[in-house]
Structure 1
Amino acid sequence: MRSRRRVVLVAYEDAQILDAACPAGALEIANSHGADPLYTVELVTARSNTIRTSSGLQLGGARRIAEVTGRIDTLLVIGGAGAETAAHDEALLGQLRRLAGRSRRYGSVCTGAFVLAAAGLLDHRRVTTHWRYSDLLATSFPAVEVDPEPLYIRDGDVYTSAGVTSALDLTLALIEDDHGPALARAVARELVTYLHRPADQAQISVFVGAPPSNRVVDDLLRHVAANLGADLSPRVLAARAGITTRHLSRLFVTHLGTTPAKAVRATRTEAAAHLAATTDLPLAAIARRCGFGSAATLRHAFLDQYGVTGDMLRKRTDIPPRRRQPDAQTAGA
């Protein structure tokens, strides 16, 4: 028989179903694309063989965590509305400590970090969680170093991810660690996900952030994201909106906290980072596609926004995020 990588997902009442579905689905597709060793996924819970997720749907066929024996490749605690209750379940915490000792690596999705932290398994580790709960995690567990910005973080053999669908980014990173970037990209294409996002991408980005309250600014940002290679100068954007360039600048500063030019540059840079991290396109081709004049200009943009070069984005998925300046951060929010 072919060898297997055993992945154990730990769930509880009122868990988020996507936190379990994203890893399980991605690993299934990895298997179908030739992962060797193959992944096997087990769902375990504290007590019942069936749990009710926060959506109302039930997950059945789970094993009780106390029944789990043997070696584990990857142990992941999923998040959800029930994480607070799970973090006070001493029996569950004890079992997590037991299983972590049997695992090659362990981690969490979203608010599952609270459960691992309550078990003492994140002490003195750099971790992330959903941006909405990062301050609470930091204050509740002072021994844990919480970074609210990245989509996921690897600290040694501990992996943590941000909210919900970042579980997919984390799982793609695990697949890449195990089998290389080609398989991870194949899985991303099969899932029809936009791209495998680099770890250091901010949780709130120009592509998923809350839309600005101003209709004109919102329309222009959508136009920018859809036409990265076009002329997106303030003059052209103002003409599209039927306003003066001075009024355009006032709107962007008021509603985004940055200028039109800086917002365009941040959007182009983030899109280019996606391509650099997840495709084999030359930097010159990425620069043309995303509206940069040359590969050299794109390299400067990467350094300004992320503090790394395109080559580093291409080779690594665990680069510590560079603290952005207010303008760049606002443009990505």
Structure 2
Amino acid sequence: MTRDIAILLFDGFQLLDAAGPISVFECALRYRPGAYRLTPLTVDGGAARSSSGIALDSRPLSAMPLSAMPAPDTVLVAGGEGAPSALGCGETLAYLRRCASASRRVVSVCTGAFLLAEAGLLDGRRATTHWAHSGEFSRRYPAVELDTDRIFIRQGNIWTAAGVSAGIDVALALVAEDMGEEIARRCAQRLVVYYRRPGGQSQFSSLLEMQRPDGRFAALLDQVRRSLDGAWDVESLAGFCCLSPRHFSRLFQSEVGMPPAKAVEQLRVEAARAALESGERSIQKVARLCGFGDAERMRRSFLRVLGRPPSSLLRSPADE
């Protein structure tokens, strides 16, 4: 059986939002030829220009009319800079609404979730999008239960994935559902990516918000991240930068936007969170490796930073 996968695009889409999943499905076809038929779609068809300037050829929505032929098995909606303009396209939104009832799956990548929400498909559901757009998303769509730390979320036949490369993660999950875990794992190996990526979006967002690549403390933050079990008190941090503790603390607060001790704590919490979410079951071991010293200190830090204890992140066997 061949499954039709429609990739819904618009001018200004993010190229990797589409190309990442396309590459996963292409890889799956190596193991099961004919399993998928991939069709980029736009409202009018023709060249859809991505934000990078590279265009993909597409067919018009009328080429796959839901009333005249079987609906696509899966509709995948890309995100990108052009998403705000696409929100005002009634034809696109109507197509998505029909697909929600006619297609087996409707999937968004990154800010493609805005289109699903605008079409009313996410009301009362859990969903995710790129962490950098979470504030805007929550303001626009308060009826959606947004979880900005998940790489992807499935709610019934609606799937939402986080930013950009998360399209690869969700596409691997779709392949696993269609063809089994073994083929999905082989695709991940061939593409040299995680089959199940450890951790959530928080492992990327907080450090990126702290660290300016050209900033004074970029090398320091990177060093702390690489050796979280080090004794990173203010004196040690200042010594790494060849500054006095007082002068260092003032400069760090000004550039990074938080005290040095809080920054170190946040990096440790996020590393510990990623370890626990990826399956590590020993809280004491994680506490030691991430520089907390013992489980009780890590618990207090988790409560301060995340509002919940480390034990709440332990994966049960049913999650495996």
- Relative to the length of structure 1, the TM-score reads 0.72
Matched residues in 1 for 2:292 and 2:4: separation?
A: 44
Give the SS at the match of 1:129.
Answer: coil
Count of aligned pairs between the two proteins: 313
Q: Any gaps of 5 or more consecutive residues in structure 2?
A: none
1:255 and 2:255 are equivalent in the alignment:
yes
Matched residues in 2 for 1:233 and 1:181: separation?
A: 45
Matched residues in 1 for 2:5 and 2:285: separation?
A: 38
Q: Which residue of 2 aligns with 1:322?
A: none
Any conservation in 1 of the 2:100–2:157 contact (CA below 8 Å)? no
Give the Å deviation of 1:222.
1.6
Q: Which residue of 1 aligns with 2:85?
A: 85
Post-superposition CA distance 1:272-313 (Å, at most 9, x none): 333333366855554444334356655665555442536735
Which has the larger displacement, 137-146 or 271-280? 137-146
Post-superposition CA distance 1:145-176 (Å, at most 9, x none): 55666554444443333432343444455567
Give the Å deviation of 1:185.
7.0
Give the Å deviation of 1:17.
0.8
Q: Which residue of 2 aligns with 1:107?
A: 107
Give the SS at the match of 1:249.
Answer: helix
The counterpart of 1:21, out of the listed 15, 19, 40, is: 19
Any conservation in 2 of the 1:169–1:197 contact (CA below 8 Å)? no
1:53 and 2:50 are equivalent in the alignment:
yes
Which has the larger displacement, 87-96 or 305-314? 305-314
Matched residues in 2 for 1:230 and 1:202: separation?
A: 19
1:8 and 2:6 are equivalent in the alignment:
yes
Which has the larger displacement, 37-46 or 69-78? 37-46
Q: Which residue of 1 aligns with 2:277?
A: 277
Give the SS at the match of 2:209.
Answer: coil
Q: In 2 relative to 1, CA 191–265 (structure 1 residues): closer, same or farther, beyond 3 Å? A: farther
Give the Å deviation of 1:265.
2.4
Q: In 2 relative to 1, CA 294–28 (structure 1 residues): closer, same or farther, beyond 3 Å? A: farther
Matched residues in 2 for 1:183 and 1:257: separation?
A: 45
Give the SS at the match of 1:101.
Answer: helix
Matched residues in 1 for 2:47 and 2:257: separation?
A: 48
- Relative to the length of structure 2, the TM-score reads 0.75
Give the Å deviation of 1:134.
4.4
Q: Which residue of 2 aligns with 1:329?
A: none
Matches within 5 A, 1:1-333: 7-29=5-27, 41-60=38-57, 62-68=58-64, 69-70=69-70, 72-131=72-131, 133-141=133-141, 143-144=143-144, 151-171=151-171, 191-193=191-193, 196-199=197-200, 201=202, 204-206=205-207, 208-209=208-209, 211-212=211-212, 215-278=215-278, 286-294=286-294, 298=298, 301-302=301-302, 304-306=304-306, 307=308, 309=310, 312-315=313-316
Q: In 2 relative to 1, CA 139–205 (structure 1 residues): closer, same or farther, beyond 3 Å? A: closer
Q: CA RMSD in A?
A: 4.1
Any conservation in 1 of the 2:200–2:274 contact (CA below 8 Å)? no
Any conservation in 2 of the 1:73–1:105 contact (CA below 8 Å)? yes
Matched residues in 1 for 2:279 and 2:185: separation?
A: 8
Give the Å deviation of 1:112.
1.8
Matched residues in 2 for 1:48 and 1:201: separation?
A: 37
Any conservation in 2 of the 1:172–1:188 contact (CA below 8 Å)? yes
Any conservation in 2 of the 1:75–1:107 contact (CA below 8 Å)? yes
Give the Å deviation of 1:31.
6.3
Give the SS at the match of 2:250.
Answer: helix
Q: Any gaps of 5 or more consecutive residues in structure 1?
A: 319-333
Matched residues in 2 for 1:226 and 1:280: separation?
A: 19
Q: In 2 relative to 1, CA 239–139 (structure 1 residues): closer, same or farther, beyond 3 Å? A: closer
Give the Å deviation of 1:268.
2.2
Any conservation in 2 of the 1:214–1:255 contact (CA below 8 Å)? no
